Amino acid sequence: MRVSAPGLHVLMTADAVGGVWTYALDLTEGLAADGVGVTLAVLGPAPSDAQKAQAEAAGCRLRVTGLPLDWTAPSPEALRLAGQALDGIARETKADLVHLHSPAFAGAIDGPVVAVCHSCVATWWASVESGPLPADLVWRADLVADSCRQADALIAPSHAFAAATARAYGLTRAPEVVHNGRRPAGAAPFDREPAPFALTAGRLWDRAKNAAALDAAAALARLPIRAAGPTEGPNGDRVALPHLDRLGTLDAAALAAQFARRPIFVSTARYEPFGLAVLEAAQAGCALVLSDIPTFRELWDGAAAFVDPDDSESLARTLDTLAADRPRRAALGAAARLRAGRYGVAAMVAGTRRVFDAVLEGRRRIPARKGAAA
């Protein structure tokens, strides 16, 4: 039974440089269909004109804030001021609840807060690097740990990442799991010959995506490997990938067209809280070759081939062998598409609404905002 009042309005934050944008638009559109109004506040680099049109089509009010992302902000003070600015937008828009794409801003929000743990520097470092956190990441991790305890609820997109988040920040209770979801763009008929190449997609510059290992495999494999996504990040990180067939950054329609050709989709990520690109490929019926990490095992075990993300020779052999084995490739593609049915937008929206309703029910006896008129 729904306990939140009709006309619920949510201030949702997002960035325009990765999967959080896709998540936010799908969730916004689903919430709008459920009668929830959304103001989408974009932090970090401004969205493109095409992204602005996507936001309008999703039914949200778009606010481009120019505020820093939690992982690019220069200081704790900058993050504190960004949080205060978001609190001001929440007041201005009369939001009933703030839905953050990072817990880092929760401490500055004076009202009901749900924070989604999409990723964070502490769990990223634990998966990608070794040794203690550098000083520039220590204060960020400390701030997130404190903010996690100030949010009314935390959400994670997989059980594996919920557990990793609880470990990283010493939480006595792991975030609630609400799987990410996508609306299928459409799948190619299975009687059509699959494309004679492998494909990866994502933030290629991010070391967590481990694109360098895939590039090394591309130098060994007979099967061509294409890569969609930026090779330079907003923080200045960049990667050279001379052996991959780089497609550049593709918009949603262009990437869906690539998936519709049903290439073998490959990810060598060392760190992936969920993996929306994997889901999109699976929805199109692509056979999946994924790194053997906890998140991918949780979501795709039995519907993908798994590889050591750092064994480029084995990866090249796996791709070439699968490309030559048409029955196995077809079976993996069918299994991936069937499994993808678990991760739809309706389930994501319903799970998120349950969290919203529980938070608002718990807040009913507490003033919505300090200093508000009685």
Q: How much is the average pLDDT of 138-157?
A: 95
When pLDDT is cut at 50, 70 and 90, the band that residue 187 belongs to is low
Q: Is the pLDDT of residue 368 over 80?
A: no
The Cα 42–Cα 67 span in angstroms is: 8
Q: 66-103 b/e with 16+ CB inside 10 Å = b?
A: ebbbbbbbeeeeebbebbebbbebbeebebbbbbbbbb
Which tokens in the block code for residue 350?
Answer: 């319903």
Which pTM value belongs to this model? 0.89
Give the DSSP H or E segment for 168.
Answer: helix 159-169
SS3 state at 57: helix
Question: What residues contact 118, with CB distance under 8 A and at least 6 apart?
Answer: 19, 20, 23, 101, 102, 157, 273, 274
C-alpha 175: how far from its chain's center?
15
The model's pLDDT over 205-262, given as tens digits with 9 standing for 90+, comes to 999 999 999 999 999 999 999 999 999 987 778 899 999 999 999 988 899 999 999 9
Q: Is the pLDDT of residue 278 over 70?
A: yes
In a 10 Å sphere around its CB, with 0-12 CB exposed, 13-18 middle and 19+ buried, how is residue 56 labelled? exposed
What integer pLDDT is reported at residue 183 of this predicted model?
87
Higher confidence at residue 33 or residue 366?
33
Identify the CATH class of 198-340: alpha beta
Span(s) in the chain for CATH 3.40.50.2000: 9-181+344-363, 198-340
Q: Is the pLDDT of residue 318 over 70?
A: yes
Contact 37, 10 (CB under 8 A): yes
- In CATH terms, the superfamily for domain 9-181+344-363 is Glycogen Phosphorylase B; (3.40.50.2000)
When pLDDT is cut at 50, 70 and 90, the band that residue 61 belongs to is very high
Q: Which residues lie across from 243 on neighbouring strands?
A: none
In a 10 Å sphere around its CB, with 0-12 CB exposed, 13-18 middle and 19+ buried, how is residue 197 labelled? middle
Q: 89-98, 197-206, 294-303, 356-365: lowest mean pLDDT where?
A: 356-365
